[in-house]
A and B are shown apart, each in its own frame.
Chain A
Amino acid sequence: EAQVTQNPRYLITVTGKKLTVTCSQNMNHEYMSWYRQDPGLGLRQIYYSMNVEVTDKGDVPEGYKVSRKEKRNFPLILESPSPNQTSLYFCASSSTKGLAGELFFGEGSRLTVL
């Protein structure tokens, strides 16, 4: 089954404790992206990757890091989480560079930073 898998789905952590949210897709997609969803703000892009070893900032990259060492994986790293990073995070992938194609989303990771 074609899917984007995120882990963990739910996480409560404390300020400053490094964490990683993993994302893996089994569709051989080149394009992958991270979004955060906040009430009243919709989805905002954090980082995206056009291919292995190619990443770029989205609209709200501050406080986040990413890496793309393999085509299927695109982890999101919070080096020193803060309460304003409490949010619902989505990973997505697509097969087309021009985004004429469909974005496939994971089920989301709800992060709470105390």
Chain B
Amino acid sequence: AQSVTQLDSQVPVFEEAPVELRCNYSSSVSVYLFWYVQYPNQGLQLLLKYLSGSTLVKGINGFEAEFNKSQTSFHLRKPSVHISDTAEYFCAVSRFISNFGNEKLTFGTGTRLTIIP
């Protein structure tokens, strides 16, 4: 079984300040890791993903995340946020089973990022 924990349900940040949204996962096998963003009144869209290789993953809109296997974390960061980054952010994990069948994507409970002008 796998689970995802997003420790912060809400994160207020001043505009142009850096931000880190935390995500921890639990799984006994290798996983794929994702961050999705949901802007107000919209569906989710992929921000970035980690499948393998470099542990630092860059995504859209200046976001990046670092996979840390020893700490089972996949924290999302941005060095300088903008008003338009106001949204809800979801971390998700999918267990890798070598292209055999399917394993469902498990989402965290989300972190609401509010940018303060």
Chain A positions near chain B (C-beta within 8 angstroms):
4, 31, 33, 35, 40-45, 48, 50, 58-59, 90, 92, 97-100, 102-103, 105-108
Contacts and interface: CB of A to CB of B under 8 A. Distances in A.
Given A97-B102, A103-B44, 4 more contacts: A4-B43, A99-B104, A100-B49, A105-B45
A100 B101 CA distance: 12
A90 B44 contact: yes
13 contacts: A35-B107, A40-B9, A40-B109, A42-B6, A42-B110, A43-B90, A50-B101, A58-B104, A97-B102, A98-B97, A99-B32, A106-B43, A108-B42
B97 A42 contact: no
Interface residues of B, number: 27
Contact residues of B: prevailing secondary structure: loop
B35 to A, nearest CB: 12
B102 A99 contact: yes
Interface of B: 6, 9, 32, 36, 41-46, 49, 51, 90, 94, 96-99, 101-105, 107-110
Contacts of B105: 45, 99, 103
A42 B102 contact: no
Contacts of A43: 44, 90, 107
A41 B90 CA distance: 11
Given A98-B96, A107-B43, A42 B107 contact: yes
Contacts, number: 67
B104 A45 contact: yes
B99 A98 contact: yes
Nearest to A91: B43
A90 B110 CA distance: 15
A73 B61 CA distance: 32
A59 B41 CA distance: 24
A41 B94 contact: no
Contacts of B45: 105
A41 B102 CA distance: 23
B109 A41 contact: yes
